[in-house]
A and B are shown apart, each in its own frame.
Chain A
């Protein structure tokens, strides 16, 4: 049932993404109701899939890469609706639903693997994964805001407005979105990393500190910490900050997906590295 609901959500996300193309191309002041309806139904179906799975295993279903990706896609869609209703930025449709679609697609195609529920005892691991994914949701928004900023900045510097000038929000709004999402994501990733340390030190035997995923996470965290502190101390903003934010999100994706293939425990097969 959850698998079926996830597929339904995937199809609806795809449909919603296709339906919003005309709104963006024709620079409508709002995203077409049909597209929003498809995305909302997708979100509902997705929520159903997650709820059923949660009821079955009695905890947040973020136990493997498949379910973590699915949960991430769910949060990004939720964020999309929140932001769209709050700021009415049509061009968010250019970034967020396609990303959700791709995430859900990868999630839907990954095989369901058995996992060791005992690792989740105590709740540290669930907090670790949950807050990290929430933080990543914030950082995706930082990425989107930075990308929109760069495109709009290029238009304004070039002095001959093209399509993006008319479609994208003001630099000020991009900057607001950028800074707020950074303020949202950084504390959550910090909590995620700290709870991860606590869990690991209690569970794993042997030197876990040099796990590739842990190193990558630390690097990602440092990038965002630098972005935050330079903004607060030196008013570092604009084009260069936007480039770093984009690089930061590449690091997020590399950490989330790429390293999962190399890292033992974070491939979500905790038994491999656990002591006897």
Chain B
């Protein structure tokens, strides 16, 4: 097993460079095929998204794949990589596995825990597989990476807390109402922001929407876009008791809704909870409304505060996810490395045994007529010497299993003992 990875991502390279290196999905299969047809390359996998380009290979043991991948990228993009060298990172063996597992778990993503990367890797895997680029250890590792990504999503909450303001509002609504199925939204002030928030809420299951605006035409437009109902601004308080979630973003200078209004609304609602999302500046909902039971008022800063807390929460979860990745890397490396060593160890033993048998045979006549016991003793003696000699290299090989230097070590052992490749 001889793994290599060459890549750039959002941490190492600015967007201009990432754009240059990007390989669109339509050309990915061709690119993988081109890569794997190069001398010494057995398998190839290319992951190319807006935040990263990663090219992975498994190669013949005697091959240094890094320059080959460089050349492949240069050929593919038809320009020299020289000026861009410094943006690339380069991994070998275990580091490749670890990096790929972290990428799949979204631990390497710009937004920690974002869910798209797993799908992108799955797609890259499918394309590389179709192009005939995966058939050995790299296939196994990439498949395992997908499993690790799924495990991290399943066992940690790395991707669960909302990290954008509009999703934070949806998440808060879910913490109050459970499911948003059948909930009613009321939009006061038809602006861009409230439109976006309403859209998220509707796509999370909210069923009915009312829109009001100072200029009635604008309310009608927005209501039509969401198949909702437009309400004249003067009739706001007649309809407000129907709303479970109120999104407010008018340009009004004072409070549009105050504590007394909400107290009346609550009694009309028989105390069923109301969630106010006030994204207007200056604010539309009197903050004192939050003091009422069964009422929750979040302004734009509050939502920002929730997003910050959620980010910290994801970072805490990341520690746990890293542990899972570490455990999976070790398990995968042990499995691959010990399997990888088998041919070398068998060849080494075969080679030494052939020498031993040859020498015993050669001295056969000079040894004269040995009794069966004496012949057994000679066999045991030579076998003993052979095993003592083998002990060092085999132990060294096994200890190095999974280490980055292992490929070089295997090469060295094969070379000095004259083992065929």
For B386, the chain A residues whose CB sits under 8 A away are none
For B309, the chain A residues whose CB sits under 8 A away are 160-162, 165
Interface string of A217-260 (1 = CB under 8 A from B): 00000000000000000111111100000000000000000000
Given contacts A156-B172, A159-B302, A170-B175, contact A28 B155 (CB under 8 A): yes
For B176, the chain A residues whose CB sits under 8 A away are 156, 170-172
Interface string of B155-176 (1 = CB under 8 A from A): 1110011000000000010111
B192-232 interface (Cβ within 8 A of A): none
Q: Does A157 sit at the interface, judged by CB under 8 A?
A: yes
For A240, the chain B residues whose CB sits under 8 A away are 293
CB distance from A28 to the nearest CB of B (A): 6
Q: Does B177 sit at the interface, judged by CB under 8 A?
A: yes
For A157, the chain B residues whose CB sits under 8 A away are 290, 296
Q: Mark the stretch among B10-18, B103-111, B268-276 that contacts chain A.
A: B268-276
Q: Does A45 sit at the interface, judged by CB under 8 A?
A: no
Question: Is the Cβ of A238 less than 8 Å from the Cβ of B271?
Answer: yes
CB distance from A87 to the nearest CB of B (A): 10
Closest to A174 in B: B178
CB distance from A190 to the nearest CB of B (A): 25
Question: Is the Cβ of B294 less than 8 Å from the Cβ of A238?
Answer: yes
Question: Is the Cβ of A166 less than 8 Å from the Cβ of B272?
Answer: no
Question: Is the Cβ of B161 less than 8 Å from the Cβ of A166?
Answer: yes
Closest to A235 in B: B270
CB distance from A83 to the nearest CB of B (A): 15
Interface string of A11-31 (1 = CB under 8 A from B): 000000000000000111100
Q: How many residues of A contact B (CB 8 A)?
A: 26
Q: How far is the CA of A160 from the CA of B269 in the complex (A)?
A: 27
Q: Does A173 sit at the interface, judged by CB under 8 A?
A: yes
For B178, the chain A residues whose CB sits under 8 A away are 169-173, 176
For A237, the chain B residues whose CB sits under 8 A away are 271-272, 294
Q: How far is the CA of A237 from the CA of B274 in the complex (A)?
A: 13
CB distance from A241 to the nearest CB of B (A): 9
Question: Is the Cβ of B157 less than 8 Å from the Cβ of A159?
Answer: no
Question: Is the Cβ of A152 less than 8 Å from the Cβ of B175?
Answer: yes
CB distance from A76 to the nearest CB of B (A): 24
Question: Is the Cβ of B272 less than 8 Å from the Cβ of A235?
Answer: yes
Closest to B175 in A: A170
Closest to A161 in B: B309
Question: Is the Cβ of A170 less than 8 Å from the Cβ of B177?
Answer: yes
CB distance from A170 to the nearest CB of B (A): 4
Q: Does B30 sit at the interface, judged by CB under 8 A?
A: no
**Could you write out 15 A-B pairs with CB less than 8 Å apart?**
A26-B156, A27-B157, A156-B176, A157-B290, A159-B298, A159-B306, A161-B306, A161-B313, A162-B309, A170-B178, A172-B178, A176-B178, A235-B270, A237-B272, A238-B293
Which B residues lie at the A interface, using CB under 8 A? Answer: 154-157, 160-161, 172, 174-179, 269-273, 290, 293-294, 296, 298, 302, 305-306, 309-310, 313, 317, 320
Top 8 A-B residue pairs of the complex, sorted by shortest distance between their CB atoms: A235-B270, A172-B178, A170-B178, A159-B302, A238-B294, A235-B271, A238-B293, A161-B309
Which A residues lie at the B interface, using CB under 8 A? Answer: 26-29, 152, 156-157, 159-162, 165-166, 169-173, 176, 234-240
